[in-house]
Chain A
Amino acid sequence: MKCDQYLQLLDPYMDDELNVGERDAFEHHAKVCGTCHARLEDRRKLLNILTSARNEEWSIDIADSIMTAIQTMPATGSSSPLRLPIIIAVASTLIVFLLLMLFGAGSIVTGIPPLDILKTLVSMVEMPSTVQSNLHELRIIFGTLLGVGKSMILLIWSFFRSSVMSSPLLAIPAAGLLAGIAFILWFRVRFSRGTS
């Protein structure tokens, strides 16, 4: 056995992790090689210090405070703490996707660029008197919105209903979306009645 092979076995030897053959070869080399014998003695000293440090007794009792914290943890049961952020991210993505799709569909039908539709809507909120002049386009846009979006809205609503049951925080984006849908419906009813 050479000294570098011996070094590799030094710690496994001390930790009783060698098989019989390895141990015999190791012990033989320790007898015939002065350098390695000294290494073994140095290692023994270190391990003695570590062993006596292990005998220091540690006492701790924080079971009560741990159990109090556990009792007040949110009732997500075995679910991972990552679940809520993931749901919120997915929901926001769906909302953005829905808005893009609705404006895109409205734009294709009317030939008005999506940004102009948005501007029109904003200006109508700012100055309700302009609503009358844009009514024709608006009815086409919202008719399309409702037609294309209905299935999406149903899908998202069922998704939210199941998630809101487990996390009350999700009620916020869900309420936002529902308010948006309600606004569209109100707008449609209000103005189609006015012109027919």
Chain B
Amino acid sequence: MNQDDLAHIQKCLEGDRNAFRPLVERYQRSVSITISRMVYDMETVRDLVQEVFLNAFSRLSTFDPIYPFKTWIQRIAVNRAIDHLRRKRPEMLILDDDIEMEEGSVRPQFEDPRPTPEANLVKAEQSEMLRHAVQNLEPDLRAVIVLRHFQDMNYDEIAVALDIPLGTVKNRIFRAREKLQSLILAREGTTKENVR
């Protein structure tokens, strides 16, 4: 447990609301990554991230300090995203190919300082393929992929964050990756067909 986090949480519980700001500043990026990877709907990411932090603030007294704050806030984020996905109509789950991005909202930027145009193209294609494949995963499977690959959690941490047994984590990771693999391979196949 990050002692610094714990000190801020303690201050919040004593009534100092401003003590929540460092926690928001520290975790807003990781929460927004989870939400955007789960939801893929840039217009709602900002609202959902905000809701996650407000929810965390109002439930701060239920936080158990034996787990890291990061794991706890990720649990709230995943649950909020799953809730959002289940409320949407099924046909809305698969978005149009263009994701509109608001000015000042979440936007991905490539970190690689000197990418060649070809490398960029391959990367963009893969990114697009992956996005499409992840959108086709059911929310529970999406959650393990996001926590494993975008939050770099190990199996134990995922089990805590999702409140599921370790065996279920392994099972979901296997099913999620098998499905992603088949979706990406199928899409690669159709792309090659189109080229011919």
A77, B46: Cα distance in complex, Å = 25
B8 within 8 A of A: no
A43 touches B108 (CB 8 A): no
In-complex Cβ contact of B21 among A15, A17, A67, A69 (8 A): A67
In which size bucket is the chain A interface? 35 or more
Q: How far is the CB of A85 from chain B (nearest CB, A)?
A: 15
B74: CB under 8 A from chain A? no
Residues of B within 8 A of A46 (CB): 177, 180-181, 184
Least Cβ–Cβ distance between B189 and chain A, in angstroms: 13
Mark out the residues of chain B between 9 and 34 whose CB falls within 8 Å of any chain A CB in the assembled complex.
13, 15, 17-18, 20-21, 24-25, 28-29, 32-33
| CB-defined contacts of A71 to chain B, threshold 8 Å | 17
A63-B24 in contact (CB<8A): yes
Q: A55-B112, A66-B50 are in contact. Are A43 and B24 (CB under 8 A)?
A: no
In whole angstroms, how far apart are the Cα atoms of A10 and B176 in the complex?
Answer: 13
Which chain B positions have C-beta within 8 A of A78? Answer: 13, 60-61
A107 to B107, alpha carbons, bound, how many Å?
Answer: 72
The answer to whether B126 and A53 have CB atoms under 8 Å apart is yes
Q: What are 18 A-B contacts with C-beta separation under 8 Å?
A: A8-B174, A11-B173, A15-B154, A15-B155, A17-B154, A46-B184, A50-B149, A50-B180, A53-B126, A57-B109, A58-B29, A59-B109, A60-B105, A62-B49, A67-B24, A70-B20, A70-B53, A80-B58
| Residues in chain B within 8 A of chain A (CB atoms) | 13, 15, 17-18, 20-21, 24-25, 28-29, 32-33, 36, 45-46, 49-50, 53-54, 57-61, 105-112, 123, 126-127, 129-130, 145, 148-150, 152, 154-155, 170, 173-174, 177, 180-181, 184-185
